Structure 1
Amino acid sequence: MLGQAKAFSSFSTNDIQQTKAFYEKLGLNVKVEDMMGEMLIMQLNGGGTVLIYPKPNHEPASFTVLNFPVQDVEKAVDELTAKGIKFEQYKDLNTDEKGISHQDDFAVAWFKDPAGNILSVVKDK
């Protein structure tokens, strides 16, 4: 039944305009729509959609809400750092000085949006 549905992901923020500016800085297609109040619709490469909605008592997700597969994690981290993005340090995941966790042929680095939600750039397979 739901196998044919065009599913989408969603998460909350405490500031729609600040969140919109942040995701636009990342180069993403984000627009504001009025659906029970202002909400963000983010179109992802490949046809996926993310709904970002305002929540006055927003609490950031304690897990990664959105992953961006990239060919070169180190290059992506350098480019995002140059745009003012700060990468997280996790001792238990052995992140290096740039915030990248390397394991065998896998690499991932985490950062947060203005609302504190966790995002990542991850090596594309």
Structure 2
Amino acid sequence: MALTDARTETRLPARDLDRARQWYAEKLGLEPAEERPGGLRYCCGPNVFCLFTSQGASDGAFTQLAFQVSDIEAEVAELRSRGVEFEEYDYPGFRTVNGIVDIDNNYPSKGVGERGAFFRDSEGNMISLGQSVPAPMPKRSR
């Protein structure tokens, strides 16, 4: 068994699949690539996530789906223009400014940090945007 070579797919619960489908289309501009009774499958580049009808619901207390983006400020502005409401936090070491938090030393293999923004979908699932902060280029000596 080689799970290290397996693809992963995220699953998000939806109490109202029609409402969720409309929210993902209107707010995120995403349409399902495939659907079945009780489920919608979305493809974003090589990645996949699915919404499924569930009587259970997430409490939205943690990130369930994350999108890595190259320009978080532009993405936040675009999503806000579509009516997405971003979470604001003010905790020691974790404070958002205009919906965006700067996190130092987050997954060092990705750079020196990450910028993040968080919002909930129509079903209460927590979704985040992340942008890696690359390490500065070393200065060349002359």
- What is the TM-score normalised by the length of structure 2? 0.74
Deviations 1:79-114 (A, max 9, x none): 110110000011112111x21102455311101100
Match of 1:20 in 2: 21
Pick closer, same or farther for the CA change 1:110–1:38 going to 2, 3 Å.
Answer: same
Aligned partners of 2:12 and 2:64 also within 8 Å: yes
> Runs (4+) of structure 1 moved beyond 4 Å?
none
Match of 2:126 in 1: 118
Aligned length: 121
Return the index of the structure with the highest Cα Rg. 2
Deviations 1:1-20 (A, max 9, x none): 23444332212111101111
**Which of the residues 14, 30, 33 maps onto 2:32?**
30
C-alpha distance in 1 between matches for 2:116 and 2:16:
27
Match of 1:7 in 2: 8
Give the 3-state SS of the residue equivalent to 1:122 in structure 2: strand
C-alpha distance in 1 between matches for 2:34 and 2:13:
14
Deviations 1:38-94 (A, max 9, x none): 21111121x221121111232334211111111111111111101100000111121
- What is the TM-score normalised by the length of structure 1? 0.83
Identity %: 28
Give the 3-state SS of the residue equivalent to 1:30 in structure 2: coil
The runs of 5 or more residues in structure 1 that have no matched partner are: none
What letter matches 2:126 in structure 1? I
Pick closer, same or farther for the CA change 1:33–1:121 going to 2, 3 Å.
Answer: same
Q: Aligned Cα RMSD in Å? A: 1.9
Aligned partners of 2:13 and 2:56 also within 8 Å: no
The runs of 5 or more residues in structure 2 that have no matched partner are: 105-112, 134-142
Match of 2:71 in 1: 72
